[in-house]
């Protein structure tokens, strides 16, 4: 029981951690001071969510490992984050498009997860949802501003959405582990989340005068720990210090 | 040496905690902020349940260190801190007194009943009065301020930029 729950917890916590790390890369690089602050605030919320999940895993495992072990001492194949979270920041529009597709997912996912029979997950989702509301509003408003902006901004954000589309399907994939958890009422129904997500994405893209891309081949693999080439580089950066100087303290 | 009887009542422990300023907004105490949910005195142990404002709030580490420091100074040695995530922290837990203190300190307090029920474009515009001149002619600059719990506003009359404690 614990083992399947722990794998599912990693799926949730890793997505937050990896997106948090990506957004931290914007620190001091934002296009304006306000955006620098916004993106790093969102990063911090995601790190906070990952920490809550990882601390809970440490309690469940109860073998001396801590949240830091999970963040800094796991290899690429042991990460189960949704593929879209590891996509590079690119230009500001790429970051906004990635965030929007993922934030909208997280919003609907946490909404459903707050009804989980697992008390920890329900409480975690209820809390995180309050934060994610602000995330999806931030990225959603930017999608509209860029889409309904200048000719150049429209063209760029449409291309960002199109390029990321193939990675969106992976967020909703389930395996027998997740399906069993859904049957027990611990994990939510992912087809319901997908429908709600699609509705939100459609609403925002239409408002932004953008086109909803057609579904084609969807990338997959994150549930088995298979990732794009970008995750290894991200981990190299994130884990370097703890790998080189184990147990170094801030 | 270890003192196996706590010489305080529960109320007195609350009073000690009420002297700890919020690390980010020192105008109010951590009790007024509403992050202390429960104090339990059992045998020789004091247990404090803490609910952080935001998941990633860096101040929660400071809360924990400060609570330990203040209670230890008061002679309590056996302290347990429990992070409690449910029910989630809400700005409704700020007392009216704390809100007034925030305003005087220069941070616009959360406006009751404006918690966003929907998301995206469903929420109507909120009027946040300027902390300096009380004008209602203000506008939001960014939903994210110097900390996750605050948004940035600007007064269009006196031109004062100020922070608004977001309703969650």
**What is the Cα A229 distance to its own chain's centre?**
17
Q: With respect to residue A250, please indicate whether it lies within any of the assigned structural domains.
A: no
B124: pLDDT strictly greater than 60: no
Spatial distance between the Cα atoms of A38 and A42, rounded to a whole number of angstroms: 6
CA distances (Å), origin B88, targets A30, A245, B81, B84, B162 = 31, 36, 17, 8, 26
List chain B residues with CB under 8 Å of A47: 55-56
3 state DSSP class of A184: coil
What is the count of residue pairs from A and B with beta carbons less than 8 Å apart? 88
Q: Pick from B50, B83, B116: which residue ends a domain?
A: B83
Residues B27 and B69 placed together within one structural domain of the fold: yes
pLDDT mean over A63-85: 96
Q: With respect to residue B2, please indicate whether it lies within any of the assigned structural domains.
A: no
**Is B120 within 8 Å of A200 when comparing Cβ atoms?**
yes
List chain B residues with CB under 8 Å of A31: none
Residues B62 and B111 placed together within one structural domain of the fold: no
List chain A residues with CB under 8 Å of B152: 34
Is the minimum CB–CB distance between A30 and chain B shorter than 8 Å? no
* Percent over 70 (pLDDT), chain A: 100
Least confident of A10-14, A239-243, B2-6: B2-6
From the list A44, A133, A136, the residue facing B56 with the nearest CB is: A44
**Residue span of the structural domain in which A154 resides:** 2-244
Q: Can you give the pLDDT at residue B115?
A: 62
Spatial distance between the Cα atoms of A89 and A92, rounded to a whole number of angstroms: 7
Q: Can you give the pLDDT at residue A76?
A: 97
pLDDT mean over A201-206: 97
Which CATH number fits the domain that encloses residue B18?
3.30.300.130
User: Would you tell me which residues 77-106 of chain B have a C-beta closer than 8 angstroms to some C-beta of chain A?
Assistant: 83, 85-90
- Maximum Cα interatomic distance, chain B, rounded to a whole number of Å: 61
Q: With respect to residue B98, please indicate whether it lies within any of the assigned structural domains.
A: no
3 state DSSP class of A26: coil
Spatial distance between the Cα atoms of A162 and A212, rounded to a whole number of angstroms: 8
Residues B111 and B155 placed together within one structural domain of the fold: yes
List chain B residues with CB under 8 Å of A122: 86
Question: Would you say A81 and A14 are in contact if contact means Cβ atoms under 8 Å apart?
Answer: yes
Residues B73 and B16 placed together within one structural domain of the fold: yes
Q: Indicate the DSSP class of residue A150.
A: -
Residues B16 and B64 placed together within one structural domain of the fold: yes
Q: Calculate how close chain A gets to B130, using CA atoms only, in Å.
A: 20
Q: Which of A114, A227, A104 is nearest to A172 (CA)?
A: A104
Q: ipTM score of the complex?
A: 0.81
Question: Would you say A69 and A169 are in contact if contact means Cβ atoms under 8 Å apart?
Answer: no
Residue-averaged pLDDT of chain A: 96
Question: Would you say B81 and B68 are in contact if contact means Cβ atoms under 8 Å apart?
Answer: yes
B6: pLDDT strictly greater than 80: no
B2: pLDDT strictly greater than 60: no
Q: Calculate how close chain B gets to A87, using CA atoms only, in Å.
A: 22
Q: With respect to residue B53, please indicate whether it lies within any of the assigned structural domains.
A: yes
Task: Encode pLDDT of B41-100 as tens digits.
Answer: 988 899 999 998 888 887 888 889 999 999 999 999 899 999 888 888 888 898 888 999
Q: With respect to residue A52, please indicate whether it lies within any of the assigned structural domains.
A: yes
According to DSSP, the residues that pair with B82 across neighbouring strands are B49
List chain A residues with CB under 8 Å of B116: 133
Q: How confident is the model at residue B1 (pLDDT cuts 50, 70, 90)?
A: very low
Question: Would you say A16 and A56 are in contact if contact means Cβ atoms under 8 Å apart?
Answer: no
Which CATH number fits the domain that encloses residue A96?
1.20.1260.10
Residues B78 and B118 placed together within one structural domain of the fold: no
User: Would you tell me which residues 120-149 of chain B have a C-beta closer than 8 angstroms to some C-beta of chain A?
Assistant: 120-121, 141-148
Q: How confident is the model at residue B155 (pLDDT cuts 50, 70, 90)?
A: very high
**Residue span of the structural domain in which B114 resides:** 106-165
| Token couple for A169 | 């399907």
Q: How confident is the model at residue B4 (pLDDT cuts 50, 70, 90)?
A: low
From the list B54, B90, B120, the residue facing A137 with the nearest CB is: B120
Residues 6+ apart with CB under 8 A from A83: A167, A170, A219, A220, A221, A222, A227, A228
Q: Which residue has the tokens 């110097």?
A: B146
Q: What is the DSSP string of chain B?
A: ---SS----HHHHHHHHTTSBPSS-TTSBHHHHT-EEEEEEETTEEEEEE--SSTT-THHHHHHHHHHHHHHHTT---EEEEE--SSPP-GGGS-HHHHHHHHHHTEEPPPTT---SS-GGGSPP-----TTT--S-EEEEES--SSTTEEEEEETTT--EEEEE---
Q: Where are the beta strands (DSSP E) in chain A?
A: none
Residues B79 and B16 placed together within one structural domain of the fold: yes
Number of domains in chain A: 1
Q: Can you give the pLDDT at residue B116?
A: 61
Task: Encode pLDDT of A143-197 as tens digits.
Answer: 999 999 999 999 999 999 999 999 999 999 999 999 999 999 999 999 999 999 9
Phi-psi region of B138 (alpha: psi -120 to 50; beta: other; left: phi over 0): beta
């Amino acid at each position: 029981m614990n083992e399947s729950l722990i794998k599912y917890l990693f799926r949730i916590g890793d997505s937050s951690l990896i997106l948090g790390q990506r957004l931290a890369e914007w620190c001091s690089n934002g296009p304006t001071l306000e955006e620098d602050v916004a993106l790093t605030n969102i990063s911090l919320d995601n790190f906070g969510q990952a920490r809550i999940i990882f601390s809970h895993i440490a309690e469940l495992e109860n073998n001396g490992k801590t949240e830091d072990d999970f963040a800094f001492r796991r290899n690429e194949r042991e990460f189960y984050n949704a593929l879209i979270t590891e996509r590079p920041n690119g230009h500001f529009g790429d970051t906004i498009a990635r965030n929007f597709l993922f934030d909208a997912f997280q919003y609907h996912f946490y909404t459903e997860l707050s009804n989980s029979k697992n008390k920890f997950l329900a409480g975690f989702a209820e809390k995180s949802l309050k934060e994610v509301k602000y995330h999806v509003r931030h990225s959603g408003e930017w999608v509209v501003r860029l889409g309904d902006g200048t000719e150049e901004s429209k063209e760029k954000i449409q291309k960002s959405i199109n390029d990321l589309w193939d990675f969106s399907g992976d967020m909703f994939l389930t395996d027998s582990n997740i399906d069993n958890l859904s049957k027990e009422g611990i994990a939510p129904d992912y087809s319901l989340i997908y429908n709600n997500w699609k509705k939100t994405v459609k609403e925002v893209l239409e408002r932004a005068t953008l086109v909803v891309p057609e579904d084609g081949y969807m990338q997959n693999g994150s549930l088995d720990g298979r990732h794009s080439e970008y995750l290894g580089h991200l981990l190299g950066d994130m884990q370097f210090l703890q790998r080189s100087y184990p147990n170094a303290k801030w | 040496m270890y003192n196996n009887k706590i010489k305080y009542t529960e109320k007195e422990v609350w009073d000690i905690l009420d002297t700890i300023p919020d690390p980010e907004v020192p105008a109010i105490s951590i009790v007024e902020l509403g992050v202390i949910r429960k104090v339990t005195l059992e045998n020789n142990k004091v247990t404090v349940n803490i609910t952080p404002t935001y998941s990633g709030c860096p101040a929660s580490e400071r809360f924990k260190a400060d609570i330990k420091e203040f209670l230890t100074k008061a002679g309590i040695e056996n302290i347990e801190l429990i992070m409690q995530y449910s029910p989630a922290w809400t700005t409704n837990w700020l007392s009216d007194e704390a809100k007034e203190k925030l305003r005087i300190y220069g941070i616009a307090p959360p406006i009751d009943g404006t918690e966003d029920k929907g998301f995206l474009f469903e929420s109507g515009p909120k009027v946040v009065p300027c902390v300096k001149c009380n004008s209602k002619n203000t506008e939001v600059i960014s939903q994210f301020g110097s900390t996750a719990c605050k948004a940035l506003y600007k007064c269009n009359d006196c031109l004062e930029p100020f922070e608004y404690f977001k309703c969650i």
